[in-house]
């Protein structure tokens, strides 16, 4: 396995991200136990919700995921990929498997997880989803332990990692864990979240100011206004690239992955989790010869002597608090996760 992430490149190309300090080195998210492949439980990660009651099955699934991921990292063995991943995470693991290679004359230490806390959200019938919170170095390839969450879903009788989220700056939202999900409707139906999000994010990535009307049904929070917001960082990058005759555009698109709608504690609405693709495109009609684009993003490798076009593809997760309709509020983006896929310069 060559890597399970290339986080050094992600901030340069996912320029349309708010809260850049919190997102530095973004990578996959996980849960935790004090283990390096095995071991005992540690205290829950800071600000992680308390664990649900009996989570022995969920803990076993978590440990199985860790064991299989470490096989990929230390032995370049991806044979269990379909056993432990689904949706977004399957896409990421499949992409990494294509370029997997162990370093020459070097060994790799297994990844660590600390502070496991598992929440089984309110449900009817058998639970089909659980969320695990904790700190890990898995998706930064060892150098940094980060607070993250993972969403597992049950597919074909197996618990599989489906989505991941970096901890929001405001902390994790409290989820409903007792009884059946509340019946009161939220502002956005789960099926409407991804298409609305793709539309608003793509507009914001043009660098144009996002008004309340343009953002609807989303709140104009730090994702859409102010320093480090999507429009502000996009506008700055577009201007820098334009000085050398280059163009930059970014587009967000829905995926076929499901939107997770997890009920919030107290019947306050839903925590929505949607998977998107982001495609960034550079064009340089007269050719570009530098190693880095003027906005600071490195030109993709292999790098031609003269670059006329570059496409960068990512898979991302955006989370949002979706309040009840009766509260007369807006849907507020609160969390993000991003992963670089293919980058091609020509």
Per residue in 309-345, pLDDT tens? Answer: 999 999 999 999 999 998 889 999 999 999 899 999 9
pLDDT of residue 20: 25
Percent of the chain with pLDDT over 90: 58
**pLDDT tens-place string over residues 79-125:** 999 999 999 999 998 988 887 776 666 677 888 888 889 999 988 77
C-alpha to C-alpha distance for 316 and 202, rounded to whole angstroms: 13
Average pLDDT over residues 220-235: 93
Asked whether the beta carbons of 164 and 337 are under 8 A apart, the reply is: yes
**pLDDT tens-place string over residues 272-305:** 999 999 999 999 999 999 999 999 999 999 999 9
- Extract long-range pairs of 94-100: CB within 8 Å, 24+ residues apart: 95/341, 95/342, 96/1, 96/2, 96/3, 96/4, 96/5, 96/72, 97/1, 97/72, 99/2, 99/3, 100/1, 100/2, 100/72, 100/76
Average pLDDT over residues 139-150: 79
pLDDT of residue 90: 93
pLDDT of residue 160: 97
C-alpha to C-alpha distance for 153 and 264, rounded to whole angstroms: 18
Question: Which stretch of 29-33, 167-171, 302-306 has the lowest confidence by average pLDDT?
Answer: 29-33
Number of helices (H), then strands (E), in the chain: 8, 9
Q: Which of 111, 112, 129 is nearest to 120 (CA)?
A: 129
Which CATH code is given to the segment(s) 7-166? 3.10.450.50
């Amino acid at each position: 396995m060559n890597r399970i992430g290339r986080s050094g490149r992600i901030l340069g190309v996912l320029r349309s991200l708010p809260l850049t300090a919190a997102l530095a080195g973004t990578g996959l998210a996980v849960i935790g136990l004090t283990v390096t492949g095995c071991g005992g439980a540690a205290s829950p990660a800071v600000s992680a919700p308390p664990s649900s009651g009996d989570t022995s099955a969920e803990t076993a699934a978590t440990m199985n995921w860790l064991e299989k991921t470490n096989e990929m990292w230390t032995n370049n063995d991806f044979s269990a990929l379909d056993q432990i991943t689904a949706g977004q995470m399957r896409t990421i693991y499949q992409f990494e498997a294509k370029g997997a290679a162990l370093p020459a004359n070097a060994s790799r230490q297994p990844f660590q997880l600390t502070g496991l806390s598992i929440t089984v959200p309110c449900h009817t019938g058998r639970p089909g989803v659980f969320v695990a919170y904790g700190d890990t170095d898995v998706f930064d390839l060892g150098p940094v332990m980060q607070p993250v969450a993972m969403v597992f879903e049950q597919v074909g009788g197996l618990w599989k990692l489906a989505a991941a989220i970096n901890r929001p700056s405001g902390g994790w939202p409290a989820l409903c864990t007792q009884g059946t999900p509340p019946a009161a409707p939220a502002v956005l139906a789960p099926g409407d979240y991804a298409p609305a999000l793709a539309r608003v994010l793509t507009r914001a990535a043009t660098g144009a100011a996002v008004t309340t009307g343009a953002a609807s049904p989303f709140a104009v929070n730090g994702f859409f206004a102010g320093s480090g917001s999507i429009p502000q960082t996009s506008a700055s990058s577009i201007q820098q690239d334009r000085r050398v005759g280059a163009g930059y555009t970014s587009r967000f698109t829905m995926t076929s992955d499901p939107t997770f709608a997890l009920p919030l504690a107290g019947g306050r609405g839903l925590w929505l989790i949607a998977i998107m693709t982001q495609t960034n495109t550079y064009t340089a009609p007269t050719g570009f010869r530098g190693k880095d684009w003027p906005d600071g993003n490195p030109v993709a490798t292999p790098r031609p002597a003269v670059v006329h076009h570059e496409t960068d593809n990512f898979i991302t997760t955006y989370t949002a608090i979706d309040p009840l309709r009766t509260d007369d509020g807006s849907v507020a983006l609160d969390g993000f996760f991003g992963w670089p896929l293919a980058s091609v310069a020509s």
